Structure formats: C-alpha cells, structure tokens
Amino acid sequence: MTEPIVITIAHKLGKEEALRRIRPALAKACETFPLLKAEQETWSDDRMDFRVRALGQLVAGNLTVGEDTVRLEVTLPWLLHKFATAVQKTVNSRGRVLLEKK
C-alpha cells in the first residue's frame, strides 16, 4: 500500500464558513470530473470520510475542517499513485480558490 497524500490548506474563514463552502465540494468535483464518482461521503461534525472511484480505482480519504486550516488525507491505489503530484496541485489550487475570503 502507498503512503497517503496529505494536503493542508490555510484559510481565514473560521470553521463554520469553511464547512459551509466545503460540504458540497465533493459533489461538485464529481460533476466537474466525469471520471470521478462518489461512493461514500460521511460527515461527523467537522470531519468527512469518503470513498470515490477514479478511473475505476477506489480512492479513500478524509477531510478535517479546522478554525484556520483544512486537512485532506487521501490514499491512492498504486495504479493512480503516479498521478499524485497532479492530484496535489489540483486539490491545492481548487481548495485555495474555494476557501478565499470574499
């Protein structure tokens, strides 16, 4: 098994506003990327555990929303691990846009 990818994104929104923005993000990502299909999304307070299929491969992870950071941990199957850098860049850039103070 491969090491998980961990991405931490700082924000200045506070936990409640960050949660409000992030809760619909997985569904929107699946709409944007047709090769991505959500299989499970379970929220418990400020933590989401999820499983998605990407290119037919199961991807599992969790996301925790804090007062000033969002931490995402994703474990990619070995077949998708070669795309880890691209995944990190995409999640980082889209996450920053989502969490920009407006």
CATH of the domain at 28: 3.30.310
Is 95 a residue whose pLDDT tops 60? Answer: yes
Amino acid identity of residue 7, one-letter, is I
Q: For residues 88 and 7, is the Cβ–Cβ distance under 8 A?
A: yes
Give the structural domain span for 65.
5-98
pTM of whole model > 0.75? Answer: yes
Distance of CA 70 to the CA centre of its chain: 9
Domain count, the chain: 1
Is 79 a residue whose pLDDT tops 90? Answer: no
**C-alpha span between 60 and 43 (Å, rounded):** 14
At residue 25, what are phi and psi to the nearest 5 degrees? -65, -40
Q: What is the pLDDT of residue 68?
A: 97
pLDDT band of 13, cuts 50, 70, 90: very high
Q: What is the pLDDT of residue 1?
A: 56
pLDDT in tens, 18-63: 999 999 999 999 898 888 899 999 999 999 999 999 888 899 999 9
